[in-house]
Amino acid sequence: MVVGSQGDTGSHTWVYRYKDLEGWWGSLHHDRIGGVELSVPSPWVPGGKPIWFTEVGCPAIDKGANQPNVFVDPKSSENALPYFSSGGRCDLVQRRFLEAHHAHWREVDGAVDPHHLFVWTWDARPVPAFPENTDLWADGGNWRTGHWLNGRLGASTAGDIIQAVLADHGFEGADTSAVTGDITGYVQAEQASARDVLEPLMQALSIDAVEYGGVLRFRSRLKLAARTQHIEILAEDGEAAQFEETREHDSDYAGEALIDFFDATADYGQATVRSRRTGAKSDRVLRLSPPAVLHEGMASATVEDALKDHQAGRRQVRFSLSPSALALEPGDVVTFEDGPAGLFIVERIEDGKKRRAEARAFQPSANGVGQTDNAGLRPARQASDGFSPIMLLMDLPQYDGGEPASFARAAMFARPWRPVVLSSSATTEGYTARQRFDRPAKTGMLAAPLGPGVTGRFDWSQPLLLNLDFGGLSSAPRIAVLGGQNRVAVEAANGVWEIISFLEAEEVSAGQWQVRGLLRGLHGTGDAMMAGSGTGAAIVLLDGAVKPIGLSLDEAGRPLNYLAEATGEAAIGPIVFAGGLRAQTPVAPVHLRAERLPGGDIRLSWVRCARQDADHWLDGDIALDEPEERYRIDILDGESVRRRTDVSTPSFLYSAASEMADFGAAQDAISFRVRQVGKKVSLGVSAQALVEL
């Protein structure tokens, strides 16, 4: 709106000003015909009736109040950013704009009717279907930085949360006017002091608390538009330097930052956003975990600002001022005339003969970054579309070629499917990408229990009934199954994965399959077979979708934290998993026998099995898996061990004298257990037998 008003001198000088509502409302109006102003005013009566605002609004975008009438819509010819805006989402600007209007027009008498301010815009479409369902409403992507109040009106801000926490603890009078930040909500899970509740928030958003004039003032350090104090004169301290600057080594500071938060667009599930520096000289991670509800844009900007400011803090400076320089206080931003370049924020001041100050360099906020129009939205989201993948981390035996550590493998499934990156860390920081999964694995669960079976032949006595999450199974010829086709891993009751192959597969109902002709306990998983599997046990088809998680040999058996991340989605995890040992565990011997010899001694014997290269039909024994052949023998009396010894051959002579010492008499049957001794895993899977003599 451009309005013109008559000058106070009566000279009819016209002045044009944008939005001069009070001048236009309180002045006489003179028509101008052919560029000539009429001396007689129009019938307009100044102040005759108040103005109604039929539309007052501001986009939820960085610096939106600079140009509240523009909007971001790539489909429109009027698509524009407000003056000097970065394009990042900022709900706080919209709120402050509306609060300023309501407060101002309530204080100004007459010009505008404060009871008739109509805010633009409230949409009748339901939240969150609008804006998330962009298949139905094509303008959903505009909501993120648009004028809409839907989904924002009930939200809080960082300043509101600080005030609420302080009020709950009986503290009044704090000033939070210099605090900025979009925070929809904040979680306080247990009783704690106000300081303990607020510290995670203040650390994440770089909010400082400074006492000034008897008032506790909170302010957003990185976004405060404060006047920079330029220091020209430093106090001399004898022969000492006027200032001292230190720069800590890059390796002492994080090269990556993460922020954990609650995402309102994902049913308030926990999400993580990270910022990394290419070529960082440190694997340290700065982790921020405020129990706050943030939108993705706010989280991204926060973690980016925090990492930049953290790295800038490597530079620190100490200097002295005259004791009369009382204007400088902690939290002030300073620059130096003859000193280190850059901006520094004062952290500490000691008063004495001189004012000794300590300051650190800091990096002002970039005020968010421009994002695509659909950033943070999940088009056409349904209740079942949340990214919550099935992540199976499996310590498998060596069922095909490859290094033993490569049999620590993972299977991923999600609906709808998105490529997943698996990352790991020895701690809760510094996650390293391990493997990318580009297609889902065929995962499922047992629909009926699977009891112990037999090994060495096809078992038709009990079928395997399972529910698949997606896809199907197929039958295969006997020769193909013997060659490794149709292998599945089933989690047994003892936590070990049993490898099973099958001949026939039939879909008995939608998603439910019955497989028959089973080869049980393959690749040394006979212990899992004997333990059996209950209803609901996990099952996965061992095809190309099951991939190694990238363990090195020295990482085998070490517990690590694992995260599954998909593009545009929050991370799932961490899950603690230690793998790579089963493929290096000696397998159980077979064909345990006992024979009493004429002299009364008992000869125990067995046949060694191997993890790899054990299926050839050539002459001679199979190759050793371990550097040397060793076994541990336990002579059992029920569950008790009567005698234990190690041997280097697949047999043991249990003397009659030892039998008398252990049992006091010759036994009609002997119970014994055999385990192969390994290098990486000291004791292998046991084989046990009770043999009548």
Block residue for tokens 């101008």: 32
Contacts for 497 with CB less than 8 Å, ≥ 6 apart: 394, 395, 396, 397, 489, 490, 491, 525, 528, 582
Query: Where in the chain are the domains?
Result: 2-145, 177-380, 387-440+550-583, 443-542, 590-692
Residues 180, 181, 184, 188, Cα dihedral to 10°: -80
pLDDT for position 518: 95
Cα–Cα distance list, 25 to 48, 50, 429, 474 (Å):
8, 8, 62, 82
d(CA 624, CA 676): 11
Contacts for 609 with CB less than 8 Å, ≥ 6 apart: 524, 587, 588, 589, 590
**One-letter amino acid of 506:** E
Q: How many CA atoms lie less than 13 Å away from 129 in the CB half-sphere?
A: 6
d(CA 608, CA 651): 10
> What is the pTM (predicted TM-score) of this model?
0.52
Q: What is the 3-state composition of the chain as percent helix, strand, coil, each rounded to the nearest 5? A: 15, 35, 50
Specify whether the CB–CB gap between 688 and 636 falls below 8 A: yes
d(CA 456, CA 205): 63
Phi (first) and psi of residue 462, to 5 degrees? -140, 125
Strand pairing partners for 607?
A: 590
Cα–Cα distance list, 446 to 211, 397, 467 (Å):
64, 21, 6
pLDDT for position 7: 42
Strand pairing partners for 603?
A: 595, 653
3-state secondary structure of 18: strand
Give the mean pLDDT per block of 10 residues along the chain (693 residues): 43 63 86 85 90 92 90 82 88 92 85 90 88 86 90 86 91 88 85 89 88 85 74 77 82 85 81 75 83 87 86 88 84 83 87 88 67 42 58 91 87 86 84 87 94 91 92 92 92 94 93 94 91 94 92 87 75 86 90 92 92 69 83 93 93 93 92 91 89 89
Q: 269: closest CA among 62, 569, 627?
A: 569
pLDDT for position 409: 93
Q: What is the CATH number of domain 590-692?
A: 2.60.40.10
Residues 62, 67, 73, 78, Cα dihedral to 10°: -150
Q: How many CA atoms lie less than 13 Å away from 634 in the CB half-sphere?
A: 16
pLDDT for position 378: 40
Tokens of 25: 């409302």
pLDDT for position 611: 80
Give DSSP secondary structure letters for 551-606.
Answer: --GGGTT--EEEEEEETTS--EEEEEE--SSGGGSPPPPEEEEEEE-TTS-EEEEE
Q: 57: closest CA among 149, 123, 143?
A: 149
Strand pairing partners for 157?
A: 182
d(CA 468, CA 471): 7
